[in-house]
């Protein structure tokens, strides 16, 4: 008796990364080549308290003291959470870059006319 792996969606060769890394997307519209979608996904994956600090610093352009007062934490805690956010965003983007399919370039193929 052989077991068959069931794939819940049809896979196109260029989208093999969806099967290998299913947690990188939550639907059929995520494009790993779209920088804005990748960055949005990386920010949304952050823990809530880390995401709040990141967004207040990078979107609202608040300094550490204002963020600390707004969230009721110390400025050192703001720095630590911001460092965590940047590290996690970097890890997520690196993972997506490693997992995303690379465009096929027939000019570099071993046998382009086959």
Q: How far apart are CA 13 and CA 19, in angstroms?
A: 11
Q: How far apart are CA 7 and CA 65, in angstroms?
A: 50
What are the distances in angstroms from CA 15 to CA 12, 30, 100? 5, 11, 8
The answer to whether position 45 is within a domain reads yes
The answer to whether position 12 is within a domain reads no
* Number of structural domains in the chain: 1
pLDDT tens over the chain, length 114 residues: 555 555 454 545 555 555 566 665 555 567 778 888 888 888 988 999 999 999 999 989 999 999 999 999 999 999 999 999 999 999 999 988 887 766 655 555 454 444
pTM, 2 dp: 0.65
Q: 84 is in which domain, residue-wise?
A: 32-98
- Residues 24, 103: contact at Cβ < 8 Å? no
- Residues 96, 32: contact at Cβ < 8 Å? yes
Q: Tokens in use for 39?
A: 């960055």
The answer to whether position 78 is within a domain reads yes
CATH number for 80: 1.10.10.10
The answer to whether position 54 is within a domain reads yes
The answer to whether position 8 is within a domain reads no
The answer to whether position 61 is within a domain reads yes
- Residues 89, 46: contact at Cβ < 8 Å? yes
Could you identify the residue written with the tokens 């204002």? 66
The answer to whether position 27 is within a domain reads no
The answer to whether position 91 is within a domain reads yes
């Amino acid at each position: 008796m052989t077991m068959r792996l069931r794939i819940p969606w049809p896979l196109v060769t260029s989208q093999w990364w969806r099967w290998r890394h299913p947690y990188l997307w939550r639907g059929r519209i995520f494009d790993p080549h779209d920088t804005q979608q990748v960055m949005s996904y990386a920010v949304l994956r952050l823990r809530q308290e880390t995401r709040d600090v990141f967004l207040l610093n990078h979107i609202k352009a608040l300094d550490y003291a204002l963020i600390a007062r707004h969230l009721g934490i110390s400025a050192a805690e703001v720095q630590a959470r911001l460092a965590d956010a940047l590290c996690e965003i970097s890890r997520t983007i690196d993972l997506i870059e490693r997992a995303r399919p690379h465009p096929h370039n027939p000019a570099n193929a071993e046998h382009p006319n086959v």
